[in-house]
Amino acid sequence: MNKSQIIKELNFKAIRSSGAGGQHVNKVSSKVELTFDFENSDSLSENEKNILRIKLHSKLTKEKNLILFCDETRSQHRNKELVIKRFLELLRTNLIRNKKRKPTKPTKASIKRKAENKKRTSDKKSLRKKPKLD
């Protein structure tokens, strides 16, 4: 995954941000929409595309485009930086392979400790019973 090549493939669109803000908000398009068509991306391998297709299926459009928005600040440039950062983080976290779990056996000491603890608990509970009068 080459960051600079992926960033070149991103499409940006500036939109008017919603919410309160006064006179200035109606004139300025500070909200940024990032669109990434990873199906036609040259910077991702087929394996990476398959992984992303599975992991990000709920975030994709019908055309298999990933769309992210950012309207956290009043600056369009800052919003663009934030959405790129968020996009790269999303790719990075979803392309990480989980390590395969190596099954382990409990140690002899832990088995012994568990048996002793069970015996102690059993004795404690048996002392709570009423004594038998035979």
- What are 48-61's pLDDT values in tens digits? 888 888 888 888 88
Domain 3-94 in CATH 1.10.10.10? The answer is: no
23 or 69, greater pLDDT: 69
Phi/psi at 12 (nearest 5 deg)? -120, 150
Q: Where are the domains of the chain?
A: 3-94
* pLDDT above 70 coverage of the chain, percent: 93
Is the pLDDT assigned to residue 110 strictly greater than 90? yes
**pLDDT score of 124:** 95
Is the pLDDT assigned to residue 4 strictly greater than 70? yes
Phi/psi at 98 (nearest 5 deg)? -75, 140
**pLDDT score of 15:** 83
Tell me the DSSP string of 74-116: S-HHHHHHHHHHHHHHHHHHHSPPPPPP------HHHHHHHHH
Mean pLDDT value across residues 96-101: 87
CA–CA gap between residue 124 and residue 134 (Å, rounded): 22
pLDDT band at 63 (very low <50, low <70, confident <90, very high): confident
**pLDDT score of 85:** 93
Mean pLDDT value across residues 39-43: 84
**pLDDT score of 119:** 97
CA–CA gap between residue 68 and residue 16 (Å, rounded): 15
